[in-house]
Structure formats: structure tokens, C-alpha cells
Amino acid sequence: MAASDLYARIHDAVRDIPPGRVAAYGQVAALVEGCGPRQVGY
């Protein structure tokens, strides 16, 4: 998997968070297969 594909999937997951809501890096990582919280925060 290319890094750009991974970060595109992370961006899509973050975009799905409703306005005014928050999500921890770990919560976002749980939505993206093959991703860890540190990758979300990078």
C-alpha cells in the first residue's frame, strides 16, 4: 500500500467526523484498516 493511499483513507475518515465533534487518533485509526494512532497524528 502506498503512503499516499493510506493518508487519503485517513483524510476520508477524518472528513466523516461531524462538525463540532472530536475523535482521538486511536478512534480514527480504528476506522482505517492497517493504520495506527501515530500514523493518524503524523
Range 5-19 burial, b when 16+ CB lie within 10 A, else e = ebeebbeebeeeeee
- The pLDDT tens digits for 3-38 are 889 999 999 999 999 999 999 999 999 999 999 999
Looking at residue 3, its pLDDT comes to 82
Nearest partner of 36 among 16, 6, 4, 2, judged by Cα: 6
Model confidence band, residue 39 (pLDDT cutoffs 50, 70, 90): very high
- The residue range of the domain holding 37 is 3-41
**Cell representation of residue 34:** 492497517
The C-alpha atoms of residue 1 and residue 16 are separated, in whole angstroms, by: 22
Looking at residue 23, its pLDDT comes to 97
Given a cut of 80, is residue 2 above it in pLDDT? no
Given a cut of 90, is residue 1 above it in pLDDT? no
Domain count for the chain, please give it.
Answer: 1
